[in-house]
Amino acid sequence: MITVLAITFVAATVAPLIFGKLGRNAFYVLAAVPAVAFIWLVLQHAPVYSGAGIEEVFPWIPNLKLEFAFRMDALAWVMSLLILGVGSLVLVYCARYFKNKDPGLGGFGAQLLAFAGAMFGLVTSDDLLMMFIFWELTTVLSYLLIGYARTRLAARRSALQALMVTTAGGLAMLVGLIILGQAAGSYRISTILDQAGTLVNGTTSGMVGAAVVLILVGAVTKSALVPFHFWLPGAMAAPTPVSAYLHAAAMVKAGIYIVARLAPGFAESQFWLPVVLGLGLATMLVGGYRALRQTDIKLILAYGTVSQLGFLTMVVGLGRPDAALAGLGLLLAHGLFKAALFLVVGIIDHQSGTRDIRKLSGVFRSSRALGVVAAIAAASMAGVPPLAGFVAKESVFEAFVHYGSGHDAPGWGIWILIGLVIGSILTFAYSARFMWGAFATKPGIERTPFKAIRPAFLAAPALLSFLTIVYGLWPAPVDSWIQPYAALFADGEEAVDAGHLALWHGLTPALGLTAITFVAGAAMFYGRNVVARVQSLVPDWVDGDRAYRHTIGALDDVAVWVTGRTQRGSLYFYLTVILTVAFAVPLAALLLNNKPLPDDVYFIDPNSPLQLIAGVGIVVGALAAVRANKRFLAVLMVSVTGYGIALMFALQGAPDLALTQMLVETIVLVAFVLAMRSLPAELRDRTGGRLRVIRVIIGAAFGITMIFVAIYAMGARVAPPVSLEFPRLAYEGGGGLNVVNVTLVDIRAWDTFGEISVLAVAATGVASLIFVRSRGDRIRTSEAVPEGSVGRRTGVDRDSRDGARLALARKFTDVTRDAWLVAGRTLAPERRSIIFEVVTRLIFHSMIVFSIYLLLAGHNLPGGGFAGGLTAGLALTIRYLAGGRFELSEAATVSAGTLLGTGLATAAASGFVPLLLGGQVFQSAIIEFWLPVFGDVKFVTSTIFDIGVYIVVVGLALDVLRSLGAEIDEHFEEKGAKAGKTRVAESAPAETAASGKGNP
């Protein structure tokens, strides 16, 4: 079975390619797939019917009890006959229905074939969840197939409607399936059915009852029963072959299939019969009634299908052997005649361009063959002997006569029977109406132009109608196929005879009912004008479609309302809501819990009383940052808290943290100044008044909540910290004395690797935000840059104080000077500082050496890749500040992107090389050797990882400097040049004089 499925889906995947080659004839190739599967199925008859069926199980996810479990028994076999047989014929029909130039034909063919596969999977699955997957697959494919004509609004809309209704039911069903699976302790359908008796009557009866109702909801939506019947007529916007296959023979039968599958075990369940019989009968009558009102022959069939689906649900769901036999017999008969009728409708529409019975006239005269094929199918639908429909309906009447008149029959049994007869009368009447509407020559209507039909086009419906006759005349094989299924309903002690499908049962009450049906149905047809008048008097008070529209409309309104209330587009609003929840919920939890405060709370750490002073500094800095109304003052105040925290780290016994925090704080300060130099100095506070009070309240409440949460959380700790082992691990396993560093590069190397990846991403983000068009990794040398050209101030009024200062600076720096820095000369004279250049010259190399020392010594002493990298970054910062952007390029001749990549690659290599050497990822080794000058050297391989970290951090710092520093400089100069040019036009002499003086 899994082979059949695999072949079908693979064929569906490559189908578009076949269409590209063969055009519409590719449908013939596709049709071969289900046809071959059909032959395979027929060959399986012997194994399926000799024992309990054939079974294929492949484990998938044992922990979730998921498995590919397939099982072919009598029910699955009969369903598969219909699915594969009709599927193949419909595909053959498509080859003449569509045109080569129809758009999206390849996708359509693939979907139709895949649908056949999904249906086959649905009926052969022996696992509830597998079955559900196929179930939803049919829903999705049905959506795509109904919406084939994408340009038509009606098609898109009904496709979506069908999808919404059936998935809504599918979700309910999923819940039901899971409840059932959990109650039974197995998701295997055969296992569940075996223990159905205990499930329904035992302690789980309430749960199972609910599960069964939920599953029935799925079946009801899928099979278009009242109150969800409206989607099926809507789905008639699909191309007619799709309607023939999905909405007559296959998909809508999925609901019936579920009912049939569960009926042998769960028909006893308390809500089963009311749902199945009540909704089934209502659907049968509503569908029949509405079919009589339609003027579109396709809609007559659609409502007829709705009616028949209700009928089938009642029969199949009754849970008695004779009804089961009759139900499956009817299901096959319905598949044959309804598919044929839809295909006939497709031909009429195709050849004449209309399906409206008020326009069609004389079609029978135009194509007698088509008329005969249709007449056979319609007669079978009406239940006329000697056709399949008659045989099946006879058995149904028989079963319900028994049910209604048996000694244990419920009082309403007879009413069900009466309802069935009324439904059958309606069926007869709309069958006649269909034939009359489609084929009759109507007085007063012009004869419809009708093109001749090619035999290949008519083949599929003709074959189906032929089978209808064969089935009617010789029902014994069908009977034998269904008997094993009917036998499932037999109780152990009394062998109930299911009866047989037969053309002639004798003069039974059922035959009498059939006669009544014919007479009354014929009468309704002849009095069709009277019927129409009566129907037009009855208002359309129940209209499922309108109810659906109102529901969706209300949903839309609610969605717009809720979106309008929650998505305000204001960050302030969102943050207020989020933060309020963030403090209110933990606070409420704390207050409700009413736990005593932990005992070990102290205000001043006896080991480190100085913390109090650092704390006061931090608090003052934070409050000043809040109050500051100058941009740089606020930044400085935040830096104060940062340095204060570095002090706090030092006092707490964390030298690594203190070092890193100091370095970061410094670089951040520089970055701030560089990035914000163009922004106004004032920091305006726009949110005032009431909003400010709310901010204060939220801030204070959040802070206080965090304090208490921290106290309680830490008080709740009982186990000793895991890190008590770290020092020993670090020394013995990691070969280092600095526990923090070993933790970073060895014990928790994965974390650190993730972190440096984030650094690389953030650095690239910064560069992209500033450079915009590229990452700006081009290296530029200073050689070609003219002297004193960088950062030259232009457009300063010579007579102003600023101008005088500028002139002075230019005069003083107008001296040839030793090159302390490589690119110092490129900087405009007024921007140079001899002291700064000299100091930079003196300390840069020392800082780089120190940073490498920090990196290498970090394994045993405070330091490490982060601190080292930041120190190197700081050294570069100094070079940039002293010598400008060309100095930075000269200092770092490798691009930041290369550094980030190299760093990540180095770190990654230290992760996977051990793997190649037979170790684990990030496993480190200690190598000891002797070097001439250094003496005994102990090298730990995790240092290589730390080198990667170092390089990434340098890359990050370089990116920040290049972007926020160098590139923004360039933006400034471009802007200055532009502004200068416009000024030149206004006051040319003054400007040239000013710049002339500066250039020696």
Partner 1 sequence: MSINLTLLIVMGVLYACGIYLILERSLTRVLLGLMLLANATNLLILSTGGYAGLAPLFDKETASTQYNDPLPQALILTSIVISFAVTAFMLGIIYRTWALARQDEIQDDLEDRRVARTPSFDAEDDAIVPLETSEFVVTASTPEERLHPEATETPKTASSREGGSA
Residues 685-724 that bind partner 1 (CB under 8 A): 685-687, 694-696, 698-700, 702-704, 706-707, 710-711, 714-715, 717, 721-724
Task: Rule CB under 8 A: choose which of 141, 286, 325, 648 binds partner 1.
Answer: 648
Task: Rule CB under 8 A: choose which of 368, 447, 454, 550 binds partner 1.
Answer: 454
Give the interface segment with partner 1, choosing from 402-410, 618-626, 844-852, 891-899 (CB under 8 A).
618-626
And the tokens for 219? 């079946």
Contacts of 325 (CB under 8 A, 6+ apart): 395, 399, 479, 482, 483, 485, 486, 498, 499, 500, 501
Residue type, 357: I
Whole-number Å distance between alpha carbons of 162 and 302: 14
Q: Is residue 654 close enough to count as binding partner 1 by CB under 8 A?
A: yes
Please check whether residue 957 is in contact with residue 760, taking contact to mean a CB–CB distance below 8 angstroms: no
Task: Rule CB under 8 A: choose which of 1, 33, 129, 618 binds partner 1.
Answer: 618
In the complex with partner 1, which residue's Cβ is closer, 65 or 350?
Answer: 350
Q: Is residue 579 close enough to count as binding partner 1 by CB under 8 A?
A: yes
Task: Rule CB under 8 A: choose which of 744, 821, 827, 888 binds partner 1.
Answer: 744
Q: Is residue 678 close enough to count as binding partner 1 by CB under 8 A?
A: yes
Q: Is residue 893 close enough to count as binding partner 1 by CB under 8 A?
A: no
Q: Outline where 98-147 has alpha helix (H).
A: 105-124, 128-146
Task: Rule CB under 8 A: choose which of 656, 830, 890, 973 binds partner 1.
Answer: 656
In the complex with partner 1, which residue's Cβ is closer, 660 or 910?
Answer: 660
Cα torsion for 192, 194, 200, 202, to the nearest 10°?
A: -100
Q: How far is the CB of 442 from partner 1 (least distance, A)?
A: 16
Task: Rule CB under 8 A: choose which of 19, 97, 134, 950 binds partner 1.
Answer: 97
Q: How far is the CB of 162 from partner 1 (least distance, A)?
A: 14
Task: Rule CB under 8 A: choose which of 125, 427, 431, 743 binds partner 1.
Answer: 743
Please check whether residue 292 is in contact with residue 535, taking contact to mean a CB–CB distance below 8 angstroms: yes
**DSSP string for residues in 478-544:** HHHHHHHHHHTT--SSS--------S---S-HHHHHHHHHHHHHHHHHHTHHHHHHHHHHS-----H
Q: Is residue 985 close enough to count as binding partner 1 by CB under 8 A?
A: no
Q: How far is the CB of 775 from partner 1 (least distance, A)?
A: 13
In the complex with partner 1, which residue's Cβ is closer, 380 or 641?
Answer: 641
Q: What kind and span of H or E run contains 837? A: helix 834-857
And the tokens for 272? 């089963």
Q: How far is the CB of 850 from partner 1 (least distance, A)?
A: 19
* Residues that contact partner 1, how many (by CB under 8 A): 160
At which residue do the structure tokens 């008796």 appear? 197
In the complex with partner 1, which residue's Cβ is closer, 202 or 653?
Answer: 653
Residue type, 878: I
Q: How far is the CB of 970 from partner 1 (least distance, A)?
A: 12
In the complex with partner 1, which residue's Cβ is closer, 204 or 295?
Answer: 295
In the complex with partner 1, which residue's Cβ is closer, 558 or 905?
Answer: 558
Q: How far is the CB of 737 from partner 1 (least distance, A)?
A: 4
Whole-number Å distance between alpha carbons of 81 and 471: 14
Whole-number Å distance between alpha carbons of 885 and 941: 37
Q: Is residue 98 close enough to count as binding partner 1 by CB under 8 A?
A: yes
Q: Is residue 755 close enough to count as binding partner 1 by CB under 8 A?
A: yes
Q: What kind and span of H or E run contains 936? A: strand 935-940
Task: Rule CB under 8 A: choose which of 254, 740, 875, 896 binds partner 1.
Answer: 740
Task: Rule CB under 8 A: choose which of 185, 202, 274, 353 binds partner 1.
Answer: 353
Task: Rule CB under 8 A: choose which of 178, 622, 809, 913 binds partner 1.
Answer: 622
Whole-number Å distance between alpha carbons of 247 and 260: 18
Contacts of 405 (CB under 8 A, 6+ apart): 413, 414
Residue type, 211: A
Long-range contacts of 488-491 (CB under 8 A, 24+ apart): 488/264, 488/324, 489/263, 489/264, 489/319, 489/320, 489/321, 489/324, 490/321
Q: Is residue 292 close enough to count as binding partner 1 by CB under 8 A?
A: no
Question: How many residues comprise the chain?
Answer: 1000
Q: Is residue 108 close enough to count as binding partner 1 by CB under 8 A?
A: no
Give the interface segment with partner 1, choosing from 39-47, 400-408, 507-515, 662-670 (CB under 8 A).
662-670
And the tokens for 624? 């000043």
Measured in whole angstroms, the distance separating CA 634 from the mean position of its chain's CA atoms is 45
End-to-end CA distance of the chain: 91
Whole-number Å distance between alpha carbons of 258 and 253: 9
Site for partner 1 in 584-603 (CB under 8 A): 598, 600-603
Beta bridge partners of 790: 827
Contacts of 967 (CB under 8 A, 6+ apart): 770, 771, 776
In the complex with partner 1, which residue's Cβ is closer, 680 or 935?
Answer: 680
Q: What kind and span of H or E run contains 71? A: strand 66-72
In the complex with partner 1, which residue's Cβ is closer, 271 or 574?
Answer: 574
Task: Rule CB under 8 A: choose which of 57, 207, 469, 668 binds partner 1.
Answer: 668
Site for partner 1 in 26-85 (CB under 8 A): none
Q: How far is the CB of 18 from partner 1 (least distance, A)?
A: 19
Q: x/- site string to partner 1, residues 137 to 156, per CB under 8 A?
A: ------------x-xxxx-x
Q: How far is the CB of 691 from partner 1 (least distance, A)?
A: 8
Q: How far is the CB of 774 from partner 1 (least distance, A)?
A: 15
DSSP 821: S
Whole-number Å distance between alpha carbons of 129 and 122: 10
Q: Is residue 571 close enough to count as binding partner 1 by CB under 8 A?
A: yes
Task: Rule CB under 8 A: choose which of 204, 508, 608, 995 binds partner 1.
Answer: 608
Task: Rule CB under 8 A: choose which of 368, 447, 546, 568 binds partner 1.
Answer: 568
Task: Rule CB under 8 A: choose which of 118, 279, 645, 856 binds partner 1.
Answer: 645
Please check whether residue 241 is in contact with residue 213, taking contact to mean a CB–CB distance below 8 angstroms: no
Q: How far is the CB of 111 from partner 1 (least distance, A)?
A: 17
Site for partner 1 in 841-880 (CB under 8 A): 860-862, 866, 870
Whole-number Å distance between alpha carbons of 285 and 437: 21
Task: Rule CB under 8 A: choose which of 300, 759, 882, 994 binds partner 1.
Answer: 759
On the CB side of 630, CA atoms within 13 Å amount to: 6
Closest by CA position to 337, among listed 389, 288, 302: 389
Whole-number Å distance between alpha carbons of 854 and 869: 9
Beta bridge partners of 323: none
Closest by CA position to 658, among listed 955, 958, 954, 870: 870
Site for partner 1 in 947-976 (CB under 8 A): 953, 956, 959-960, 963-964, 968, 971
Whole-number Å distance between alpha carbons of 585 and 740: 35
In the complex with partner 1, which residue's Cβ is closer, 490 or 634?
Answer: 634
Task: Rule CB under 8 A: choose which of 255, 264, 383, 736 binds partner 1.
Answer: 736
Q: Is residue 185 close enough to count as binding partner 1 by CB under 8 A?
A: no
And the tokens for 429? 């009447």
Task: Rule CB under 8 A: choose which of 476, 496, 532, 552 binds partner 1.
Answer: 552
Site for partner 1 in 895-934 (CB under 8 A): none
Contacts of 890 (CB under 8 A, 6+ apart): 781, 782, 822, 823, 883
Q: By three-state DSSP, how is residue 608 classified?
A: coil
Task: Rule CB under 8 A: choose which of 671, 891, 900, 994 binds partner 1.
Answer: 671
In the complex with partner 1, which residue's Cβ is closer, 666 or 789?
Answer: 666
Task: Rule CB under 8 A: choose which of 40, 412, 466, 731 binds partner 1.
Answer: 731
